[in-house]
Amino acid sequence: MPNTLPPDSVGLVTPQVMHCTEPLTLASGKILDEYQLVYETYGELNANRSNAVLVCHALSGSHHAAGYHRMEDRKPGWWDNYIGPGKAIDTNHFFVVCPNNLGGCHGSTGPTSINPATGEPWGPDFPKVRVRDWVHTQARLADYLGIEQWAAVVGGSLGGMQVTRWALEYPERLRHAVVIASAMKLSAQNIAFNETARQAIMADPNFHGGRYLAHDTHPKSGLAVARMIGHITYLSDHAMGEKFGRELRSGSFTPGNDEPVEFQVESYLRYQGDVFANTFDANSYILMTRALDYFDLAREYDHDPVAAFSHARCRFFVVSFSTDWRFPASRSREMVNALMGAQQPVTYVEIESSYGHDAFLLPNERYRRAFTLYMARIAREMQS
């Protein structure tokens, strides 16, 4: 953080909490008697409550999407590039709401919370959560905040899955769905990467079948490997090449040298893995990747995405990135085709970027312009 806040920042923000005592029946059939969601808001809700935008976070995200918690913070929220005064999601126009998802580990009820039935942390006993459950809790948050209809529901990656589920679960409660770098379901390869990450966590002897808190430990090594696997899939081959190439961090290839050689990409990945392992809960990671794997937008519509989208009542804005190989442009095009088949209004932009899946978080001029223009159109609609 600089000494002064940047002028296009939402500034210092304080997380808020919704405590919900109305029991929630999950897709799994399990019932949560009560739970809380931590969330942040940026901007002001207008008088007729028509300018609210819901931002849904992805696998490793949180409610802290923009601004700073303290003047000392080195980094702003995860989507600060696109949320703030004058930015794509312009807080001069919109009231932005971003909750931490149920089952997460940043303050919303999840595996590290106390199970009221036992007085101990839920751990691996926390019920399975599906994308649909997140949407239901987000709808309750909307009720709580007095928001009958979102101007837009917006999200990238796993966040985009929440957006499309919103369009089908509560078709009357959103006017626009902004779906970025996402897909209607994971491919077998996506699932395979997630499963390998879970296996790395479960193989860690500190995992203890998920009851690591009772053993006063945490499967950090396994979680770090899981994050490394994920991280590689978020970056394009090209981006990694640009960022690291085959540059060495230590050692040399001098003939006759038996010193260990280490490439920069290795230490970077290990560092990223370690940082993540110190801030994320392993059971949450397993729960969230399972929600990703299980998500299948058209499952209960006879696996027909056209039939699924025929229930939507909002306009769609779909964005993909050219070098994203985790959710390639082809997956977005499938979604766009299904939307067109269902005669839904859809705008689609494919953005050139060399940064892979991560591009949805990063500065990119064409992405910024397209995103800004689309959101500005929503803002204009509110005024007319």
**Residues in the site for a copy of itself, rule: CB under 8 A?**
27-30, 127-128, 185-189, 191-193, 195-196, 199-200, 203-205, 221-222, 224-225, 228-229, 232, 235, 237, 240-241, 243-246, 253, 255-258, 260-261, 263, 265-266, 269-270, 273, 293-294, 296, 299-300, 325
CB closer to a copy of itself, 29 vs 119: 29
Q: Return the bridge partners of 24, or none.
A: 32
- Least distance to a copy of itself, CB of residue 60, Å: 16
- Least distance to a copy of itself, CB of residue 187, Å: 6
* Integer-rounded Cα radius of gyration of the chain: 21
Q: Measuring CA to CA, how many Å separate 278 from each of 15, 233, 234, 272, 338?
A: 21, 21, 20, 10, 41
CB-CB neighbours of 155 under 10 Å: 27
- Least distance to a copy of itself, CB of residue 86, Å: 36
CB closer to a copy of itself, 104 vs 328: 328
CB closer to a copy of itself, 189 vs 250: 189
CB closer to a copy of itself, 161 vs 265: 265
Is the Cβ–Cβ distance between 211 and 282 less than 8 Å? no
357 given a catalytic annotation? yes
CB closer to a copy of itself, 7 vs 256: 256
Sheet arrangement for strand 176-180? 16-20, 35-42, 95-99, 52-56, 152-156, 176-180, 315-321, 346-351
Catalytic residue, from 9, 60, 62, 157: name it: 157
- Least distance to a copy of itself, CB of residue 172, Å: 22
- Least distance to a copy of itself, CB of residue 123, Å: 16
Catalytic residue, from 63, 93, 106, 357: name it: 357
Rounded Cα distance between 364 and 384, Å, is 30
Most distant CA atoms of the chain, gap in Å: 75
Is the Cβ–Cβ distance between 179 and 317 less than 8 Å? yes
Give ∠ CA 129-131-135 in degrees, rounded to 5.
105
Is the Cβ–Cβ distance between 18 and 137 less than 8 Å? no
Which positions are annotated as active-site residues?
Answer: 157, 324, 357
